């Protein structure tokens, strides 16, 4: 679409401005180079890179993936190149591109999060940080940070105090009430919430009676989880004043529209990239077509317009 397009897809999420609301989700687009020239990154609303830790991580032994009905179960084990290699090797390739770069980060301890945020704060070419709180806290017996509102508050506070960058907190759906960690993150000063991360799941080979994943359990993503994600986004929209990024199972423009109508200001596309590497480009042009058909000019005219009266 040319620049003189009468249609505006631009959105604001607190301090973050995006030319359109369609981003790629962490862990599904590598460090931005993996899809080569199939996806000009400049066309995207933002790129969220694979989660970074202070030190490189090997990840889990294989098998790490199993396909289930309409979904993908994975247990990668947070494999990543580590902070130093990211800054020295990956970030320079992203910096010249006209696309917001959001760095997803995680740690083993609350202190790790603060150190990472401090280390990333000074680097040119990073537009926001996204905190992964779905990983285990080694000092709390491996319990996921995101499952305990006190730990959510501590982690988000640790990042908030070390960076001036916009902070996004990515919530795990593996809780009873999603609004509780959402409020904890808000109280700790996050600018934006993104949700949902993968849904805890499992698969077994009945023939061998072994788990399909070496790690036994994993995270489910893909179209199968979309209704869960949409419901949780809706709950958080009602409970919080913060801008929300919706994700979980989005594979079509209709899926993206559902999240925007419910009130998400932007969306992330994850597993669908594997199915159709150009799905984000199709969703972006699909949003423009939708606005044209509806006689609208601005994507903000549909955000949060869920019609509850019958």
Partner 1 sequence: MLLRNAKIIFNKPVSAELYHMGLLCPDIAAKIQPGQFLMVRIQDRLDPLLRRPFAVHRLYPNDPPGSFEMLYKVVGRGTQLLANMQRGDFLNLLGPLGRGFRLPQDKGFVLMVAGGIGIAPLPYLAETLAASGNKGPFVLWFGGKTSTDLVCVQHFNDLGFAVQLVTEDGSEGKKGLVTGHLEQWLTQQDELPKVMYSCGPYLMQRSVAEMAARLGIPSQLSMEALMGCGVGACLSCSLRCHPPKGVQDPHYANVCQDGPVFDGEEIFWD
Q: Is 58 in the site for partner 1 (CB under 8 A)?
A: yes
Strands (DSSP E) contained in the chain are 11-13, 16-18, 22-24, 46-52, 65-68, 71-74, 101-105, 128-132, 136-137, 143-144, 167-170, 192-195, 199-202, 204-205, 210-211, 217-221, 244-247, 266-269
38 vs 306, which CB is nearer to partner 1? 38
Spatial distance between the Cα atoms of 176 and 25, rounded to a whole number of angstroms: 24
Parallel, antiparallel or unpaired: strands 192-195 and 101-105: unpaired
Spatial distance between the Cα atoms of 53 and 108, rounded to a whole number of angstroms: 8
DSSP 8: B
Concatenate the DSSP letters of all residues of 221-273 into one string.
ESGGGHHHHHHHHHHHHHH--S-EEEESS--SHHHHHHHHHHT-SEEEE-THH
Q: Is 62 in the site for partner 1 (CB under 8 A)?
A: yes
Parallel, antiparallel or unpaired: strands 16-18 and 65-68: unpaired
Q: Minimum distance between the CB of residue 246 and partner 1, rounded to whole angstroms? A: 19
Name the segment binding partner 1 (CB under 8 A); options: 52-60, 114-122, 179-187, 283-291. Answer: 52-60
Q: Minimum distance between the CB of residue 97 and partner 1, rounded to whole angstroms? A: 17
255 vs 288, which CB is nearer to partner 1? 255
Q: Which of 35, 121, 211, 228 binds partner 1 (CB under 8 A)?
A: 35
Q: Minimum distance between the CB of residue 195 and partner 1, rounded to whole angstroms? A: 20
Q: Which of 204, 275, 292, 306 binds partner 1 (CB under 8 A)?
A: 275
Of 73, 102, 105, 135, the catalytic one is: 135
Query: Residue 84 is inside which H or E element, if any?
Result: helix 82-85
Q: Is 36 in the site for partner 1 (CB under 8 A)?
A: yes
69 is catalytic: no
Q: Is 63 in the site for partner 1 (CB under 8 A)?
A: yes
> How many Cβ atoms from other residues are within 10 Å of residue 93's Cβ?
12
Q: Is 307 in the site for partner 1 (CB under 8 A)?
A: no
Decide if 284 contacts 43 (C-beta within 8 A): yes
Q: Is 295 in the site for partner 1 (CB under 8 A)?
A: no
Q: Is 277 in the site for partner 1 (CB under 8 A)?
A: yes
Q: Which of 1, 10, 65, 292 binds partner 1 (CB under 8 A)?
A: 65
What would the x/- binding string for partner 1 be over residues 221 to 260, using CB under 8 A?
-xx---------------------------x---------
Q: Is 104 in the site for partner 1 (CB under 8 A)?
A: no
Catalytic residue positions, numbered: 135
């Amino acid at each position: 679409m040319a620049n003189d397009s009468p249609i505006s897809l631009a959105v604001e999420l607190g301090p973050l401005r995006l030319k359109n609301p369609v981003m790629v989700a962490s862990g599904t687009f590598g460090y931005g180079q993996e899809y080569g020239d199939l996806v000009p990154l400049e066309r995207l609303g933002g790129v969220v890179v694979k989660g970074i830790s202070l030190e490189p991580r090997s990840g889990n032994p294989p098998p790490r993936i199993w396909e289930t009905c309409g979904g993908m179960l994975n247990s990668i084990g947070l494999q990543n190149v580590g902070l130093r290699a990211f800054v020295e090797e990956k970030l320079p390739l992203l910096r010249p591109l006209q696309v917001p770069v959001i760095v997803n980060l995680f740690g083993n301890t609350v202190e790790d999060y603060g150190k990472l945020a401090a280390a990333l704060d000074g680097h040119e070419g990073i537009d926001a940080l996204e905190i992964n709180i779905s990983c285990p806290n080694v000092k709390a017996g491996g319990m996921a940070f995101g499952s305990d509102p006190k730990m959510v508050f501590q982690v988000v506070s640790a990042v908030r105090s070390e960076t001036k960058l916009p902070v996004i907190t990515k919530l795990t759906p593996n809780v009873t009430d999603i609004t509780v960690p959402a409020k904890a993150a808000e109280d700790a000063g996050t600018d934006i919430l993104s949700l949902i991360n993968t849904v805890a799941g499992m698969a077994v080979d009945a023939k061998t009676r072994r788990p399909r994943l070496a790690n036994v359990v994993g995270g489910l993503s893909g179209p199968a989880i979309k209704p869960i994600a949409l419901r949780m986004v809706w709950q958080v929209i009602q409970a919080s004043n913060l801008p929300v990024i919706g994700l979980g199972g989005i594979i079509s423009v209709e899926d993206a529209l559902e999240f925007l109508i419910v009130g998400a200001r932007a969306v992330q596309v994850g597993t669908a990239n594997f199915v159709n590497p150009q799905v984000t480009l199709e969703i972006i042009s699909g949003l423009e077509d939708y606005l044209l058909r509806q006689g609208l000019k601005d994507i903000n005219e549909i955000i949060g317009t869920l019609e509850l009266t019958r």
